[in-house]
Amino acid sequence: MRRSDQRRDAVFACYQQEVTDRPLSTLLVDARPFTKELVEGVEQHRSELDEVIAEFAKGWDLSRIAPLEKNIMRVALYEMNFREDVPAEVAIDEAVEMAKKYSGSEAPGFVNGILGAAARAMEANGAVTVKAGSEADESGSEADEAAKADVI
């Protein structure tokens, strides 16, 4: 199974857990190791990943972001921050493609804007992990425009 498929499975497992409260152990019974690692990593770092999303989703409360888009971004941010073998560009591209396939028409730009702003902040800070409160993307035009889109 390709990594793209395993990322999709990880996003869907995280999404199902969030909206149904089913335990991850049930959702991951037949999952491949990479899928399990992504889901477990997202779960372990959920609050930190959510802080990053909230920071770059200017004008958006985290609760207003659709659960599927949130989980697409969580998986991508986990890879960007904690997987040295996955370039940020790959994580972003995979996330945007997933949003194109499974979300509304505004979602890909929204996902791309937030993840792109996070990647620029990571690069500017020279840090592996983006911490909330960084000031890397002052212009924010792409992220700001994407965050203004109404994602349902």
pLDDT tens-digit profile of 92-118? 999 999 999 999 999 999 999 999 999
Instruction: Read off the DSSP letter of residue 102.
Output: H
Single-letter residue type at 97 = E
The arithmetic mean of pLDDT across residues 20-48, rounded, is 95
Residue 137 has pLDDT above 70, yes or no: no
- pLDDT-based confidence at 50, cuts 50/70/90? very high
**What topology is assigned to 3-148 in CATH?**
N-utilizing Substance Protein B Homolog; Chain A (1.10.940)
Output the pTM of the full model.
0.83
Residue 17 has pLDDT above 60, yes or no: yes
pLDDT value of residue 148: 36
Average pLDDT, the chain: 86
Q: Are 106 and 149 in contact (CB under 8 A)?
A: yes
Q: Are 115 and 76 in contact (CB under 8 A)?
A: yes
Instruction: Please give the Cα distance from 110 to 142 (Å, whole number).
Output: 9
CA distances from 52 to 22, 30, 47 (A): 25, 30, 9
Q: Are 113 and 146 in contact (CB under 8 A)?
A: yes
pLDDT value of residue 95: 98
Single-letter residue type at 46 = R
- pLDDT-based confidence at 59, cuts 50/70/90? confident
3-class state of residue 30 by DSSP: coil
Instruction: Please give the Cα distance from 121 to 129 (Å, whole number).
Output: 10
Residue 72 has pLDDT above 70, yes or no: yes
Instruction: Please give the Cα distance from 38 to 13 (Å, whole number).
Output: 10
Q: What backbone phi and psi angles, to 5 degrees, belong to 87?
A: -65, 150
Q: Which residue has the higher pLDDT, 96 or 150?
A: 96
pLDDT value of residue 129: 52
